[in-house]
Chain A
Amino acid sequence: MSAEAIPYTVEPHPDTGVPNPKLGMWLFLASEVMLFGALFSSYILLRVGAEKWPHHTETGLNVPLATINTAVLILSSVTVVMAWYSLKIGDIAKGKLYILATILCAFGFLVIKYFEYSAKFEHYVLFQADGTEVHGHVTDRTSEFITFQPDAHGAAGSPPAAMQLPVADVESGAIKFTNLGPWFSNFYAVYFTLTGLHGLHVVGGIVVFVYLLLTANSWWAKHPEQFTNRIECTGLYWHFVDLVWIFLFPSLYLL
């Protein structure tokens, strides 16, 4: 049997009024709302129940980078919809160009996210006996000692002296010393879980768009309308990824 055996991939189903792939995509997105909704719900529950939750100025998250990332993702939503428009008017060359632009935006988003994540994993905190915290970076690590360089405060004066922390004490927990990974606090656990899951969705989008771009010519030659619908359905997914970020951004970075 040929691919035509699968019904209603282009024309609307008489019962629903939409092609099957589009309805399928919307149902999938509804399940995605539940997935992210459960995580948002956990975030709200943890936050309203906490005696203290860091204000956005205390979290150390990079708001300018995240703002740029928001703009990049919004731009990618426009390029997807322009790819669909180009295919609708029969311009496959422009359609492919816009798909490529979307992939580049998605990679741009992940690269910016990589810089954000690595800044957190390279930022260490030493909890002192008097309850104060010393923030800084690890400059060297041997099997016996970790060299910890505290951050300088203010422009004046020389930077604080580096500390030698015994690895055995850090590993046994006698010295509380950690980076800003998901294990650091409830806030960072929520931050990495939500942005990590969202990042995986971005990766998923890239995989599908790359596949569509690589097979565009053959699809377009055989089934142009079906290919256009595929771009529309993938676009629905991509806009959802953008939509989730629109809520993640203020929730994690600005509140």
Chain B
Amino acid sequence: MSAHHAAHKVDIEELKKSVRTYIAVFVTLLVLTGLTVGVAYFNLPIALAVVVALLIAIVKGSLVALFFMHLVHEVKVIYWTLALCVVFFIFLIFVPLATESNQSGIVARSPSLVLGAGEHGHQEGQAGEH
């Protein structure tokens, strides 16, 4: 009985510590949100802007996953599930990109997809195909 109480007490102490972590993560997430908005107005070259914005988003997402979703204390089966998910996600993002690079123009140069591109845009698109 006393051992159970002692274990429960340790558990409560651990939980109380985690509250401080949640608040620290919350403040960090707010600061990083402000940072990502601020950086957007530096007018960086688009490639650099994408890298910076995604890096900040990855840090923010990791904080949410690790501390709010308790991934820091999770078991192996969850890690393996997510690792598999990451592999498929990478395929999902990059395989269509590879396809697009071999068939450039099919998606983007179809002016019918952009309202307001007008007849002029259509003629340009056709000219570009020849």
Contacts and interface: CB of A to CB of B under 8 A. Distances in A.
Contacts of A178: 115-116
A12 to B, nearest CB: 8
B13 to A, nearest CB: 11
Nearest to A70: B33
A183 to B, nearest CB: 6
B53 A26 contact: no
Contact of A67 (B33, B56, B104, B116): B33
Interface in B1-49: 12, 15, 18-19, 22-23, 26, 29-30, 33-34, 36-37, 39-40, 46, 49
Interface string B62-83: 0011001100001111100110
B113 A186 contact: yes
Interface of A: 12, 16-18, 22-23, 26-27, 30, 33-34, 37-38, 40-42, 44-46, 48-51, 56, 63, 67, 70-71, 74-75, 77-78, 80-82, 85, 88-89, 125, 127, 131, 133, 176, 178, 183-186, 235-236, 239-240, 242-243, 246-247, 249-251, 253-255
A250 B116 contact: no
Contacts of B105: 49
A26 B82 contact: yes
Given A41-B92, A85-B19, A185-B116, A17 B75 contact: yes
Contact of A45 (B22, B34, B107, B114): B107
Given A33-B85, A67-B33, A74-B30, A49 B93 contact: no
Given A27-B81, A41-B92, A89-B12, A246 B61 contact: yes
Contact of B69 (A38, A48, A125, A239): A239
A88 B15 contact: yes
A41 B30 contact: no
Contacts of B88: 34, 37
